[in-house]
Chains A and B, each alone.
Chain A
Amino acid sequence: MIRRALVFGAAFVGLAFLVLPVVAIFARVAPGRLIGQLGNGAVTDALRVSVETSAAAQALVLLIGTPTAVVLARRFRFRELLVSLVELPLVLPPAVAGLGLFAAFGRFGLLHTTIPFTKLAVIFAVAFVSGPLYVRAAIAAFEAVDGNIVAASRTLGAGPTRTFFRVVLPLARPGLAAGAALALARGLGEFGATIMFAGSLRGVTETLPLAVYSEFNVDFDTALAVSALLVALSAALLIALKWRPSLSTSRFRFAASS
């Protein structure tokens, strides 16, 4: 009895701890004022920058990440090493990621570019931290495609390219979509690498998370409004992600043989 009470008590505390900060964002200011704050110039600028850079980074991640995952889903020597390298940015502290981007693309970095503190820098920072999430999910999705089904397509006269687009890609799509949604959510919240590598210039590199930080020191209500917007966006992505069970289960469930 006491053990049960302890377990439920711990679960309650844990849930409350996780939910309370989210609730607090909406509880402090009336919803009307929250929406009103969204008309604030700083907020609309940050929203525009976030949408632009996230869309561009996402396109970059999908276009380059998908072929990368196709290659890494094959079996070859040093594959594990390469996969680990791809996964490294996931566990890197964001500040280190920002510094790394600087060291690579900075004016005095390895490649001597003028990318830092531009919109492109935001896109790079976002793609650098969100890309690995997508690539990892995509590798798993491609690996899960039944090799016999791919072989069947080849014996039916479809070359590797046609087989990829007509068989492999449709079968991997649910996994790819899940990875893309996770990457987008992660990219939208990107903070550390962005502020290091792209700075926080309003209308240029100041994304929604950066706006939360800068408004935090100026106008707490505006910071709350931007936060509420980010919570809503993240929740929407999470719901979209969870709302595809019909795709991932029924498609691969086989009827019992009779």
Chain B
Amino acid sequence: MATLALDFTLPLRSFELTLALRVERTVALVGPSGAGKSSVLRVVAGLAPGGVAYDGEDWTHLPPERRSVGLVFQDYALFPHLDVRRNVGYAGPPDELLERLGIAHLAQAKPAQLSGGERQRVALARALARDPKVLLLDEPLSALDAHTKSEVRHELAELLRDLGLPTLLVTHDYEDAAALADEVGVLVDGTLRQLARPAELVAAPRDAFVASFTGANLLHGEAHGTVGMTQVRLPDGACVYSTDEATGAVGVVVYPWDISLAREHADDSALNVLHGEVSSVVEIGNRVRVRIGPITAEVTAASAERLELAVGARVYATFKATGTRLVPL
């Protein structure tokens, strides 16, 4: 399979964006807004300067129109004066793509008459009409509402798999990245902090930022080695134990789904226990996210009901020492 290779340094407003990356299948770059994510796509598309090669062919000095890149803009950037068919047909034959993306019935509509989800399909169809060698997606799901989003995410993942193109997408949402990409890179202040498969990022985050970005709880504390275990003293005096080794200022990483909740204190020395009051309860599908003091736990809707979780309830949050990772701060 063809490879897209990036290697460049681009000065941005307040920092330099430095990136060396090889894209074979789908790579997602995640990071907070302003991390330089969109600029990466602009470099690949030829809209900003920087070293890019496709399958050994140097694209660095080619103008955008001579690179074979399909770029889907965050705001879609559809041509407002052209109908859907002409938008898609701008770069290549439109009809098959209109069919494939289920927008054939919108062929005569102008972009202003479309919903967000429809516009996104048109933008995707237009980018694909060029029969590009590389696909670039800028925040492909961020402009969609929650309901449309989960549907489109599924479809998009399937489409990307079928296309089999080297695809680079950027998003600020780790879950979108993990759902769509084979590899996820965390980009902060213009630097790639870690690049790994989604499961690896969760299992072994390199630093506190990567951990918090993947949705983990992060507890700050002071680590002291004891035999076989590391004891981390939290600012409030509580102690948690981890099987990772570290000393000094550390972040304790624990994922919400590795935390169990109980009404009674379970007398089990292998467990870390934090006691507190529930400050929020949010249902996400058949899971429930519960906030207790500084941490968030995710439990099934059934157990949330059994525990009668509600704001103000006092609960014990427990997690295993083996379920924690220690990262330097």
Contacts and interface: CB of A to CB of B under 8 A. Distances in A.
Interface of A: 146, 148-149, 151-159, 166-167, 170-171, 250-255, 257-258
A250 B80 CA distance: 10
A258 B46 CA distance: 33
B81 interface: yes
Contacts of B126: 152, 156
B311 interface: no
B8 interface: no
19 contacts: A146-B77, A148-B77, A151-B45, A151-B64, A151-B71, A152-B126, A154-B63, A155-B65, A155-B67, A155-B71, A156-B126, A156-B129, A156-B130, A158-B65, A167-B79, A170-B81, A255-B115, A257-B143, A258-B145
A60 B132 CA distance: 42
Given A149-B78, A155-B46, 18 more contacts: A146-B77, A148-B77, A149-B77, A152-B71, A153-B79, A153-B90, A154-B65, A155-B45, A155-B47, A155-B127, A156-B126, A156-B127, A166-B90, A250-B112, A251-B80, A252-B80, A254-B112, A255-B114
A158 to B, nearest CB: 6
Contacts of A253: 112
Contact of A155 (B64, B79, B80): B64
B328 to A, nearest CB: 40
A232 B75 CA distance: 45
Interface string B57-76: 00000011101011101010
B132 to A, nearest CB: 9
B123 to A, nearest CB: 8
Interface in B240-277: none
B91 interface: yes
A151 B113 CA distance: 22
Contacts of A146: 77
B168 to A, nearest CB: 13
Contacts, number: 80
B112 A251 contact: yes
Given A250-B112, A251-B112, A154 B81 contact: no
B215 interface: no
Interface in B256-310: none
Chain B contact-residue range equals 20 to 34
Interface of B: 42, 45-47, 63-65, 67, 69-71, 73, 75, 77-81, 90-91, 111-117, 126-127, 129-130, 143-145
Contacts of B79: 149, 152-153, 167
Nearest to A149: B77
B52 to A, nearest CB: 13
B117 to A, nearest CB: 8
Which of B47, B65, B116, B127: most chain A Cβ within 10 A?
A: B65
Contact of A171 (B63, B81, B116): B81
A254 B77 CA distance: 12
B25 to A, nearest CB: 21
Contacts of B115: 255, 257-258
Contacts of A166: 90
A105 B170 CA distance: 59
Contacts of A156: 65, 90-91, 126-127, 129-130
Contacts of A167: 79
B112 A157 contact: no
Given A251-B80, A252-B80, A155 B69 contact: yes
A253 B77 CA distance: 14
A159 B113 contact: no
Which of B67, B73, B113, B117: most chain A Cβ within 10 A?
A: B73
Nearest to B75: A148
Nearest 4 pairs of A and B residues by beta carbon: A257-B116, A154-B64, A156-B91, A148-B77
Nearest to A148: B77
Contacts of B91: 156-158
A44 B24 CA distance: 75
B129 to A, nearest CB: 8
A258 B116 contact: yes
Nearest to A173: B81
A151 B90 contact: no
Contacts of B73: 148, 151-152
Contact of A255 (B64, B112, B129): B112
B24 to A, nearest CB: 21
A171 B80 CA distance: 8
A200 B127 CA distance: 60
A258 B145 CA distance: 8
